[in-house]
Structure 1
Amino acid sequence: MQKQRTLKTEISYTGIGLHSGREVHATLKPAPEDTGIVFVRTDLPGAPQIHAKAENVTSTLRATTVEDGHKVFTIEHLMSAFHAHRIDNAYVELDSEEPPVADGASLVFFELMAKAGIVEQAKDRKEIVIDKVYRIDDEKTGRFVMVLPYDGFRVSFTSLNPHKLIGVQYEDFHIDEAVYHKEIAPARTIAYEKEIQALREMGLGLGGSLENVIVYNDEGWLNPLHFEDELVRHKILDVIGDLRLAGIIRGHVIAAASGHALNTQLAKEIAAAYAGR
């Protein structure tokens, strides 16, 4: 059996939220065994806690939101880094409702966790070892996400984008800390220039910039890419983060054009199936 893990020491980061555009101070802290990942809203009276669990997902509009009396949103990049490091327990203190966007990916969070250090705890981990196929389909579009048994953690993702600049992208990675750090963590979120104004009118993307978002238009990219297929790598980053809401998973994730809605539905199905095991 593997042992649970937490951070060795606390570490902080200050930035702005991707959608809110508000400055936020984030502090990642060690947590006792069996705590899970817990967000703490230090800006609210009594510093309420929001548990990052699949059952607490309330919205997937352009980001993943969890609510437990109070809410935090756009948590997927941070959760992805926790999953990659296989961290079971941590507190995330925030003085706003959204973590910092940082680099628009998860590299900053991944490296912060590594800098803080990671330690094993005494109790065994309740790893989710996938023992059959779990699958969520969007029958109208043909999009799907599934997970099947696999000795390790692997993600195969096909991204389908009608824009001629992007098209079909596919990647397949056996995820460990080294692979994630090099191949996934630097992959940033993406935006189509013509959609940005409409998003901002909806109160979304207010903290987005060419420093943390890759932007394209009908002529090309407005900023340099980290990878030629950065979009599909970011999609992998997202699904890793969304599935962490079910727990730390051992299995092979296969997805076609999946997003937060399908990802979190799968997380809920997995969490329900493994409850009490």
Structure 2
Amino acid sequence: MGQPVAVRGVGLHTGEVAVVRFHPAEGPVRFWVGGVELRPLASAVVDTSRCTALGHGALRLFTVEHLLAALYIRGIWEGLVIEVSGPEVPILDGSAQEWLEVLREFPPCGPLPVPLSGAVRVEEGRSSVLARPDEAFSISATILFPHPKIGYQQVVSPPVPLEELARARTFGFLEEVEALRAQGLIRGASLENALVFNRYGYVNTPRMLFEPVYHKALDFLGDLYLAGRPYRGHFVAHRGSHRLHVELARLLQVLG
């Protein structure tokens, strides 16, 4: 097998620097953190408050969703051990684009997509996620924010390529920064790794029209990786959240 590939960066929430090493290895994709193996499965998720975190006992690995989305896009379900030297996967530029480039070093590997046997839906208030049978894989997301530059947005892939979703960065609001940092969050956030809004518009320049909803679809894709295998079906997130995404993945994991 090939040689390990390493990436270094800072965590979005912890602000801690970590090195991620990709080791070709037989078996399912898994993380290796502090001498502990963590499988990227919904049953291993321990936190979905501001990101998706895996855990075992007291051990935590935060913000796995962008890397998992890149694995999904590349079709890599087997053949890698991902060693992380810190408590959080680096945010890099806030998207999954750099992870996708790194993973081009490794071939697609894993099971073929299986058809969904029926529809699965999870709801909470006005938010919902849905998986329903279809002939091929597709994903869609909608968001609604009372902001002049966001409002209602929707994306469906295809026709939008999954690789285009990977370019979309995480986003946030300038007025929330102080409160979030007081909670010990977004210590590694900057204008270099996030699209930031003030009350009236953009603080920095978006990469694309509708970048926020593209990123929400990317997060959804990463959380769907936690089902443990690819499926043929249409996956819909309406005002989704990591909690709802992961619950859908958990139900899919249980149903097999």
After TM superposition, give the deviation of residue 9 of structure 1 in Å.
Answer: 4.3
After TM superposition, give the deviation of residue 71 of structure 1 in Å.
Answer: 1.9
**1:250 paired residue number:** 232
After TM superposition, give the deviation of residue 151 of structure 1 in Å.
Answer: 2.1
For residues 187 and 209 of structure 1, the distance between their equivalents in structure 2, rounded to whole angstroms, comes to 15
Structure 2 SS opposite 1:241 = helix
After TM superposition, give the deviation of residue 126 of structure 1 in Å.
Answer: 6.1
**1:82 paired residue number:** 71
After TM superposition, give the deviation of residue 130 of structure 1 in Å.
Answer: 1.3
The equivalent position to 1:239 in structure 2, one of 215, 220, 231, is 220
Asked if 1 retains the 8 angstrom alpha-carbon contact of 2:143 and 2:152, the reply is: yes
The equivalent position to 2:249 in structure 1, one of 249, 253, 267, is 267
The equivalent position to 2:149 in structure 1, one of 143, 158, 165, is 165
Asked if 2 retains the 8 angstrom alpha-carbon contact of 1:39 and 1:93, the reply is: yes
Asked if 2 retains the 8 angstrom alpha-carbon contact of 1:157 and 1:171, the reply is: yes
For residues 111 and 8 of structure 1, the distance between their equivalents in structure 2, rounded to whole angstroms, comes to 16
Q: Which amino acid aligns with 1:25?
A: V
**What are the superposed Cα offsets for residues 238-269 of structure 1, whole Å, 9 maximum, x if unpaired?**
00000100022221111210010100000001
**2:9 paired residue number:** 15
* Structure 1, gaps ≥5 residues long: 1-6
Q: Which amino acid aligns with 2:10?
A: I
For residues 221 and 59 of structure 1, the distance between their equivalents in structure 2, rounded to whole angstroms, comes to 29
**TM-score (norm: length of structure 2):** 0.94
Structure 2 SS opposite 1:32 = strand
For residues 147 and 212 of structure 2, the distance between their equivalents in structure 1, rounded to whole angstroms, comes to 12
**1:96 paired residue number:** 86
**2:190 paired residue number:** 209
Asked if 1 retains the 8 angstrom alpha-carbon contact of 2:148 and 2:200, the reply is: no
For residues 151 and 107 of structure 2, the distance between their equivalents in structure 1, rounded to whole angstroms, comes to 39
Asked if 2 retains the 8 angstrom alpha-carbon contact of 1:84 and 1:175, the reply is: no
For residues 133 and 8 of structure 1, the distance between their equivalents in structure 2, rounded to whole angstroms, comes to 40
Structure 2 SS opposite 1:245 = helix
Equivalent pairs counted in the alignment come to 253
**What are the superposed Cα offsets for residues 127-172 of structure 1, whole Å, 9 maximum, x if unpaired?**
442121010001x3x1100011122211111111122221000111
Asked if 1 retains the 8 angstrom alpha-carbon contact of 2:74 and 2:108, the reply is: no
Once the two structures are aligned, what percentage of the paired residues are identical?
Answer: 31
For residues 161 and 131 of structure 1, the distance between their equivalents in structure 2, rounded to whole angstroms, comes to 34
* Structure 2, gaps ≥5 residues long: none
